[in-house]
Amino acid sequence: MMRVLVVDDEPLARARLVALLDECADVTLVGHAGDGEAAMAAIGELQPDVLLLDINMPGVNGTALAQRLAGRVRPQVIFCTAYEVHAFKAFELGAVDYLLKPVRLERLRDALQRTQRRLADASRESAGFLHGRLRGEQIRIALDEVISLLAEEKYVAVKHQRGELLIEESLRQLEEAYPQQLVRLHRNCLVPAARLLGLKNLPDGRVLARLAGTDLSPEISRRNLPAVRKLLRLG
């Protein structure tokens, strides 16, 4: 079941998309948002597979939001807009489709099916697992489930969506094995690049990472901060 988040500042437009989704198979509406900032918060909390995204919104508009998400497996973006002029930019950002309002049911169904195929292809290509032991049993955790990796004496603690796991590989070994998937925040911490949502600046000068799907906000060292900022800019 594909999880859908509707992002549009017009209540009537949101209502129409919600009604159309009711007539689409294998999808579930997980929520809706009225602007880009609310959408980013909802993405972190709800972990949608796809956004139905308007372009002209107050604050962070649809193309700016899509730029932040570009290159990530989830969520994929389907633009739903009244204007044709942004189509080239939309596909340049990796959007699955570009639907003109009023959105027709058949076009929406086609776009959702295309999204499902893209997600399936990405899942096959990004296969990666960490192996450890929990209460004497061998456990395998997919990289997609990992929230953070913290060095603790002789082990690395893997915080994931279902709990925590200790593994024997060092952070350096993991960083070398998965250079595209993992990013270093400080000497004792790696996180999946796909979970990075943004930065939080504290009054004392420290900078924390905002991660999707968790309240955990690891500190970013001054040494690693430029690389993290560059990664966020590039999406």
Domain boundaries, the chain: 2-125, 129-234
Residue 116: its pLDDT value, please? Answer: 94
Distance separating alpha carbons of residues 178 and 90, to the nearest angstrom: 29
Residue 223: its pLDDT value, please? Answer: 95
- The correct answer on CATH 2.40.50.1020 for the domain covering 129-234 is yes
Contacts of residue 135, Cβ cutoff 8 Å, sequence gap at least 6:
none
Residue 113: its pLDDT value, please? Answer: 96
Look at residues 34, 26, 35, 41 and name the one whose alpha carbon lies nearest to residue 108.
Answer: 26
Q: For residues 206-225, b (16+ Cβ closer than 10 Å) or e, as one string? A: ebbbbbbbbeeebbbbeebb
Residue 109: its pLDDT value, please? Answer: 98
Q: Which two tokens stand for residue 226?
A: 């430029």
Q: Which two tokens stand for residue 215?
A: 């309240």
Residue 136: its pLDDT value, please? Answer: 63
Distance separating alpha carbons of residues 191 and 182, to the nearest angstrom: 6
Look at residues 75, 112, 97 and name the one whose alpha carbon lies nearest to residue 194.
Answer: 75
Task: Tell me the pLDDT of the chain (235 aa) as tens digits.
Answer: 999 999 999 999 999 999 999 999 999 999 999 999 999 889 888 989 999 999 999 888 999 999 888 767 789 999 999 988 888 888 888 899 999 999 999 999 999 999 999 888 766 555 577 877 666 667 778 888 899 999 988 889 999 988 888 888 889 888 887 888 899 999 999 999 989 999 999 999 999 999 988 889 999 999 999 999 988 887 5
Residue 62: its pLDDT value, please? Answer: 93
- Tell me the CA distances in angstroms from 195 to 11, 17, 116, 232, one per residue in order: 29, 27, 20, 11
Residue 235: its pLDDT value, please? Answer: 59
Distance separating alpha carbons of residues 140 and 130, to the nearest angstrom: 6
Q: What is the pTM of this model?
A: 0.58
Give the helix/strand (H/E) hosting 157.
strand 155-160
- The correct answer on CATH 3.30.300.180 for the domain covering 2-125 is no
Distance separating alpha carbons of residues 22 and 9, to the nearest angstrom: 20
In the block, tokens 């294998």 appear at 26
Distance separating alpha carbons of residues 73 and 189, to the nearest angstrom: 22
C-beta neighbour count of 204 within 10 angstroms: 5
